[in-house]
Amino acid sequence: MLPLRSLALLLSCSALSACGGSGPPPPPAPTPAQQQAAQAAAQAAEKLKMYEQLRAAGKNDLAAEIGSDITTRFAGTPAAQEVAKTLPELQKQAREAGETRRLQRLWSYQESPAGKGKQYHVSIYAKGGPTAESPQRVTLFIRQHPEWGQSTYLMRDESGFRCPADCTLTLRFDGGKPERWAGTIPPTGEPAIFIDKNEALIARLLKSKTLSIDTDWKDQGKRTLEFEVGGLDPARLPPAGKKK
């Protein structure tokens, strides 16, 4: 039989154990994989904030780059899942905006003194041709002159075009049906050919994405020229008949 003092100590220890005095065991430490996943989720969350800020500011091209990075590098994170809801449409908009800017850059707008006023030139190179001076380079011009008025014409750097007295050119807008347009070879000998209905041509250009023109070159025979005209800016065209 235990002494009373020993029995009291034993009962006290049993009571403490039953009441959970030692507390629950500590949670296990996170594994390296769990630590890496938490870090990736935190980084993705920060990038998500930037993505949403750029998207709200209308900077779709930059936002699309960051969104693509999130879904690629941080796949499976809550941020990547959130970005996936809006990224496809944003990428589409960014591509369309990029294509619009590319087409706009194809056109050149210039003005220079001419007589008592200014001469305006709006021009675009034929697709696939060189942009450096060369017999192969052909430019489509829209010109507004204070004395001669408005005209549209093709210009080569050398040699020029052939066209009979009843000169006509075959034009196609956006790959449509061929259309016959009257043309004129300048009597002064420049390597150019005028498209006579200039106002009608400009109106069609503003509604078209592409223009092809069948031509006959003095030194190289028949050639079809193609122009990506969809970026022509009507706000930068001087009004027909404007004189300064």
CATH number at 133 reads 2.60.40
Per-10-residue mean pLDDT of the chain, 244 residues long, equals 47 48 74 84 94 95 96 95 96 95 96 86 93 91 90 94 90 97 93 94 97 95 97 88 44
Q: Quote the CA–CA distance of 36 and 32 in Å, as a whole number.
A: 6
Provide the 3-class DSSP secondary structure of residue 36.
helix
pTM above 0.85, yes or no: no
Residues 139 and 182 in one domain: yes
Burial of 62 (0-12, 13-18, 19+ CB in 10 A): middle
CA-wise closest residue to 124 among 226, 15, 244: 226
Asked whether residue 40 is assigned to any structural domain, the reply reads no
Examine residue 181 and state whether it is found in any structural domain, yes or no.
Answer: yes
* Angle, vertex CA 142, rays to CA 177 and CA 185, nearest 5: 75
Are 148 and 190 found together in one domain?
Answer: yes
Q: Is residue 222 part of a domain?
A: yes
| Residues 58 and 131 placed together within one structural domain of the fold | no
Same domain, 115 and 226: yes
The residue ranges of DSSP E strands in 69-136, in sequence order, are 108-114, 117-125
Distance, in Å, from the CA atom of 72 to the CA atom of 141, rounded to the nearest integer, reads 46
pLDDT at residue 241 in the model: 53
Q: Is residue 198 part of a domain?
A: yes
Same domain for 74 and 172, yes or no, is no
Residues 228 and 118 in one domain: yes
First-to-final CA distance of the chain: 126
- One-letter identity of residue 213: I
Q: Which DSSP symbol is given to 145?
A: E
Given 58, 78, 105, the domain boundary residue is: 105
Contact 135, 219 (CB under 8 A): yes
Tell me, yes or no, whether 79 lies in a domain: yes
Residue 240: its pLDDT value, please?
65
> Does the residue 167 lie in any domain?
yes
End position of a domain, from candidates 64, 82, 105? 105
Enclosing domain of residue 100: 47-105
Which one of 87, 105, 123 terminates a domain? 105
Is there a domain that residue 9 lies in? Answer: no
DSSP character for 116?
Answer: T
**183 domain residue, yes or no:** yes
> Which pLDDT belongs to residue 47?
95
- Judgement on whether residues 94 and 123 belong to the same structural domain of the protein: no
Both 84 and 195 in one domain: the answer is no
Domain identity same for 59 and 126: no
119 shares its domain with 231: yes
How many domains does the structure of the chain reveal? 2
Residue 168 and residue 195: Cα distance in Å, rounded? 9
Angle between helices 60-73 and 87-105 (to 10 degrees): 140
Q: Do 169 and 182 belong together in one domain? A: yes
123, 125, 131, 132: CA torsion to nearest 10: -70
Same domain flag for 65 and 136: no
